[in-house]
Structure 1
Amino acid sequence: MQELPGVGLVERARAVAPLIAREADEIERSRRLTPSVVAVLIENGLYRALLPQSLGGAEAPIETFMQMLEEIAKADASTAWCLGQCSVCAMIAAWLDPDTAQEIFNVAPGILAWGAIAHEARSVEGGYRVTARWDFASGSRQASWLGAHVRIVEADGTPRKNADGSPEVRTILFPVASATLHDVWQAIGLAGTGTDSYEVADLFIPERFTAFRDVPAALREPGPLYRIGTGATFSLGFAAVSLGVARATLDAAIALARAKHPSLAGTAMRDNQAVQGLIGRTEGDLRAAGAYLYATAHTMWRDLCATGEFSAAHRSAVRLAATWTIHQSAKVVDAAYHMAGATAVFRSQPFERRFRDMHAIAQQIQARDTHYEDVGKAILAGG
């Protein structure tokens, strides 16, 4: 019997988590996912969670994708971040012609990574030429292809405009061998993501290796997943990563409290009423954040499947839920870290890396405070 889309992804993520946890120290030290971790993610089809079924991907419902990332994040945040980044990048296949998508995603390892929007590509016969350097390419060290989001200019340098007067932006795709990667990711957290910079010089990009990412009218795939677009999917995925990190950190604090008898204290940590109360409140905060995030995703997905529309209201709801969940997860991690006392500062303990990883997540674009302003503006406007 053929497996249903997305079935088994969460279970497979849970099954490979112990191996990832064992590799976490080496991932941190080398600032790369280890070969064994990349191999097990590929073998279990986790990188293909959001790839269209027409290409052999899972095309998983959004909640399944989120749960998959949450399970991996409990073992190692860097692995979950890279998996989330590259999985969402694979959604670009829904905007490509089938032969091009096959060449990118069905030739091993079939992994795509990209960074932030920047720079221009000049229109030439048959495609575009570009010389540029981009940052923040999480997962690039495992990728076989790279992408970039660029503004298009004509041969004479005139910016190309959309019908509404906005700059035309395309996503260009090219083999990783065409680029130079710069090892620049020396960061407080998410050290293992290898979120490096990459550069190309006078590179020709054939027209078929470009796409109007996140433009519904340009879609070639009918599934509801691709109506959400990559931006909102990144937000939901990385919010789920933050929940996984928070869950693992709080669980570590609970385990410590059950066993620890602090020096100079009259009672065991588990018998301390202040600790008991803090654990109860923090557990409630984490469960509330998870319930809110998944309820928002569920409602959006239900409506999307019924109507085929990812509305402005859905976009605003996702942005608010994802931003708040990341911030709430950071508060949970902070509470667990402080609860652990001096134990938390040692690298041999399960706290300090997660503390750093969580605060690196909270600095990303998906957690910007300005999202609250955008949502508040929409609410005040009656949206």
Structure 2
Amino acid sequence: MDNFTISIINNILRRNPNIEDLYIQCNFDELRMRDLIETMHVLVEMEKLKKLAMFGFYGVLPNTLDFLLDRLPKLEALHLHEWEYEEHPGLALDLETGHLVSKDEGVDGQRTTHQPPPSPTPSRSQYQQQKHQLPVPRALRTLRIADSNCPFDTTLKVASYSPLLNRLQFSNDLGQQTWPMGFAQQLLSFCPRLDELDLSDTSLQKGRFKDLLTALPRLRRLCVRNQGPSYDTILGHINKSLPVFGTTLEEVDLDCGEREYQDMSTCSEIFIMLASFPKLRKVYLKNLFVPAEDLVGSDMALNYRNRVPVEDFSFACKDLEVLELIIQGPNDGWAPKELLDWDNDTVHDNDDLYDSDESDDDFCTIKPPTPPSTSPPPPSTSPPPVYELYEKVIEKLGMLPKLKQSGLRFSYQFRLKKSVKQK
């Protein structure tokens, strides 16, 4: 947007104050600071606003988010993407009026820097005892912060007056910022209903990911999509957190970036996870492929390292509805050719977290078995091929009573790595 465009948008919003769901995308680094503030004033007049997504807001003054949330008590979901804070050498935002003031005038004692506060992290009481204590926006349930430079204290400050918050995404680089003492524990104390955590595009370091998991006993949905640790590392952290949320976890959504071939150790972590969480219903392990032989022998994997006492695959995964991973056969003849396709797209029932992949000639896909034809097969002079391993895979997955095997929600669309045909 340019200055002329944002003026038009502001006028449209002024004439439609009853909007409940709003998405704004712009490039404010080319706008004047006063145009940005004008837009904020327009937004806070929209009292019925419930969902707000703001993309491409650069050069945002500290306290802008406080001013916005303070005046939108009915807001239920906030998504900030490319929301970049920046100190202005001479201007600050007055929380009382929402106007720009000179730093020489002060902002009624408010701290204008956007850097995280010194350790230890301020407590809940310290947040609530600030001079300009913000009213509780009790409707806020979803907070998504992606590709932004919002520091940890900003996340905690929003959480401190959002007791109904149950879904949180933040993509801060955890490796670049100072991890405050007790961050995860305070997050839970502010938001006791928090049960969905999305750490996509977050730089995860050893210990910090585990801190988050062990501090969230009600965790129901976990999403990690980034170029960080390997599947083996993340799965290991999840399984070690079993005593914390072993009875609540329903969905795991992982993508470690590049396609990974896993050995038996990682395969065992997968099956341990499937068998360990009794409410687990959906498992997305994108870009992960597992040897077909290991899937067929998953009972052995369950007892690998003697960590899970369950031996029956169907019992351990009896509630599993969705399973996405990549099954690799030993050659290009291990499954019927009509079931192999070069299409690398995968059907998901959580499209808000996944985008379709482009085709890749190194991989192919097993499609769902097609219903038998009612017409008689044509006469053949050669014996039908035998797909023993493929049949065992289908039989193994068929043991799962709730696993969906057809339709749009069919998610065990297994991709197979193409290999040279055996002579």
TM (norm. structure 2) is 0.22
User: Which of structures 1 and 2 has the bigger CA Rg?
Assistant: 2
Bigger share in helix? 1
Higher relative contact order (CA 8 A, sep 6+): 1
User: Larger strand proportion, structure 1 or 2?
Assistant: 2
Q: TM-score, normalised by structure 1?
A: 0.24
